[in-house]
């Protein structure tokens, strides 16, 4: 078969003389694919129509001389006709227009130059972006380049031709964990962490650069654990190395006694943070000023405003947090009845028809102003004396993963007990009412819900729930995890079973893990 290749624009040859390639590269670098901040500023200042001074109207640049003209108002057409400069480049998309052919043209050599320069600009822009937001410090954006397999990787790919296709019914990532003797508290947290999307992406892309002895680094063990979970093996995994490292680095958890899953979560995050944190002194965009992957994902900023009752001066502090511990009705701590009652109203998708306490109620109580009383006076910087005050907590910065700890275990001098109060929690949660920025729009402690349905910055989706069954002295931990959008599974040590959304939402709830629905570049 003989294929007929359409002829290209014959007028291009008049441009292809002397250093035309270098000249074209300069135009793409400076005026089309502007990657650096300096080049963008230069483009904004210089790229205006030489006839009307406009930035817009499909601005084109002459390829033969330094002239910018509007395509819409035909100013570039006038220049081409007067100067007989037949070719111009679109400064927004990089296409080349021929005024004789009266159309955008394709030339293989020019197209290759355009792609090369666009690729260079994209690479440098991504590196700048990663540097500015601190991701390079965690190894996430280091020397951005497209992945090219090494000789060793090519060899492995040749000998392992089988590929795993991820589908909606795929169970890869689901794997049971053997209980090594009252270690369900560890297993349930491991299940939640291995199904945390960004943490999974970090470890499966081999981002951890270890500077410790590999047999003592908890991050290396977590990396290996992720490999085990997503290898496709179905047999339960035995996490003996993880348990040994936990005992080594968090000695208060050593032994075969039943431990608190929440305490293990905080200890695990602390050790992971210490083992992979960046020591070069660069600040990151979270309250810990640390760019390690743990702080990037889990750290938020809690704002505390203490207001003097005399001069109404406000003292503000912001503290980092990995989780939010919420009081429950039935505890010895006074709980304000905030539920609207049986009026059928909903907030954050939680119904009050049954009169049950909701997660939103708990968050309202957590962020409600509290009078500190005469026994807890503070020295006011305005009054220069000790005065009574009110304290209010709000969210200054939300983490990517928000973990809520429902305080079901009460330990005091008088009693030790478990609080079994049912708390309803939603599949989707909007944290906007509890932000420091929403504080001004509150009235009498109640947030007036916004009608802006397009504001998704503070919206979260549930992806893991840790539950505790039994009493304070004898109990067992299990986890519900979300595999895909609407597929949930119950992880009970070595046993993984399919669960319904109703099973998840009807469960008691001890630790609730929510993931931000939208991630913004900063």
Strand segments (E) across 448-486: 459-470, 475-484
Nearest to 449 by CA among 348, 339, 342, 303: 348
| Closest to 89 (Cα-Cα) out of 41, 42, 40, 29 | 29
> Which residue has tokens 């000249």?
23
| The pair of three-digit structure tokens given for residue 191, joined into one six-digit string | 């299940």
Active site residue 362: no
Helix (H, G, I), strand (E, B) or coil at 395: strand
What is the token pair recorded at 118?
């666009």
Helices (H) and strands (E) in the chain, counts: 13, 27
121 sits in the region (left: phi over 0; alpha: psi -120 to 50; else beta) called alpha
Q: Is 236 exposed, middle or buried (0-12, 13-18, 19+ CB in 10 A)?
A: middle
Catalytic residue among 49, 98, 136, 184: 184
Instruction: Give residues with Cβ within 8 angstroms of 12, minimum separation 6.
Output: 87, 98, 105, 107, 110
List, in order, residues 6 or more apart from 280 with CB less than 8 Å away.
137
d(CA 291, CA 138): 6
How far from the centroid of its chain's Cα atoms is residue 48's Cα? 38
| Burial category of 469 from C-beta neighbours within 10 Å (exposed 0-12, middle 13-18, buried 19 and up) | middle
Q: In the annotation, is 476 catalytic?
A: yes
Give the contacts of 318 (CB within 8 A, at least 6 positions apart). 287, 301, 302, 303, 304, 396, 397
Rounded-to-integer distance, Cα 388 and Cα 380, Å: 9
DSSP bridge pairs for 424:
358
- Which residues are registered as beta bridge partners of 61? 68, 89
**Alpha helices, DSSP H, located in 370-445:** none
Q: Which of 437, 433, 458, 453 is nearest to 445 (CA)?
A: 433
Distance of CA 73 to the CA centre of its chain: 44
The residues carrying an active-site annotation are: 184, 476
């Amino acid at each position: 078969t003989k294929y007929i290749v359409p002829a290209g624009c014959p007028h291009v040859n008049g441009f292809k003389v002397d250093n035309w390639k270098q000249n074209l590269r300069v135009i793409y670098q400076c005026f089309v694919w502007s990657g650096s901040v300096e080049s963008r500023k230069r483009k904004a200042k210089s790229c205006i129509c030489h006839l009307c001074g406009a930035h817009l109207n499909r601005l084109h640049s002459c390829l033969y001389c330094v002239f910018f003209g509007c395509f819409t108002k035909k100013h570039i057409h006038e220049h081409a006709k007067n100067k007989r400069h037949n070719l111009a480049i679109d400064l927004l998309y990089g296409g080349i227009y021929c005024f004789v052919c009266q159309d955008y043209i394709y030339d293989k050599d020019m197209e290759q130059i355009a792609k090369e320069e666009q690729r260079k600009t994209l690479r440098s822009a991504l590196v700048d972006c990663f540097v500015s937001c601190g991701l390079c410090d965690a190894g996430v954006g280091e020397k951005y380049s497209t992945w090219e397999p090494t000789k060793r990787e090519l060899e492995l790919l040749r000998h392992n031709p089988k590929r795993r296709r991820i589908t909606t019914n795929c169970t890869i990532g689901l794997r049971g964990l053997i209980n090594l003797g009252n270690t369900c508290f560890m297993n349930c947290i491991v299940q939640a962490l291995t199904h945390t999307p960004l943490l999974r992406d970090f470890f499966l892309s081999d981002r951890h650069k270890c500077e410790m002895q590999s047999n003592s680094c908890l991050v290396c063990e977590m990396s290996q654990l992720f490999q085990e979970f997503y290898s496709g093996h179905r047999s339960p995994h035995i996490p003996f190395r993880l348990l040994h490292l936990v005992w080594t680095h968090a000695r208060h958890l050593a032994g075969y006694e039943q431990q608190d899953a929440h305490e293990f979560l905080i200890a695990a995050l602390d050790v992971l943070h210490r083992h992979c944190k960046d020591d070069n002194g660069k600040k990151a965009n979270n309250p810990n000023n640390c760019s390690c992957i743990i702080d990037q994902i889990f750290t938020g900023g809690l704002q505390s405003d203490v207001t003097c009752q005399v001069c109404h001066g406000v003292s503000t502090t912001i503290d980092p947090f990995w989780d939010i511990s919420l009081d429950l009705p039935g505890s010895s701590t006074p709980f304000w009845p905030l539920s609207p009652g049986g009026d059928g109203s909903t907030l954050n998708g939680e119904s009050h028809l049954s009169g049950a306490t909701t997660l939103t109620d708990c968050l309202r109580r957590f962020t409600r102003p509290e009078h500190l009383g005469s026994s807890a006076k503070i020295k006011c910087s305005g009054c220069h004396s000790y005065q009574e005050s009110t304290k209010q907590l709000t969210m200054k910065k939300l983490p990517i993963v928000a973990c809520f700890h429902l305080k079901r275990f009460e330990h005091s001098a008088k009693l030790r007990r478990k609080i079994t109060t049912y708390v309803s929690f939603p599949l989707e949660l909007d944290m906007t009412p509890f932000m420091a920025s929403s504080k001004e729009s509150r009235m009498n402690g109640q947030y007036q819900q916004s009608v802006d349905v397009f504001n998704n910055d503070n919206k979260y989706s549930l992806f893991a729930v840790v539950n505790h069954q039994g009493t304070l002295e004898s109990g067992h931990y299990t986890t519900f995890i979300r595999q895909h959008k609407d597929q949930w599974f119950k992880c009970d040590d070595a046993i993984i079973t399919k669960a319904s959304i109703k099973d998840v939402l009807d469960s008691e709830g001890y630790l609730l893990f929510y993931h931000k629905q939208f991630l913004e570049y900063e």
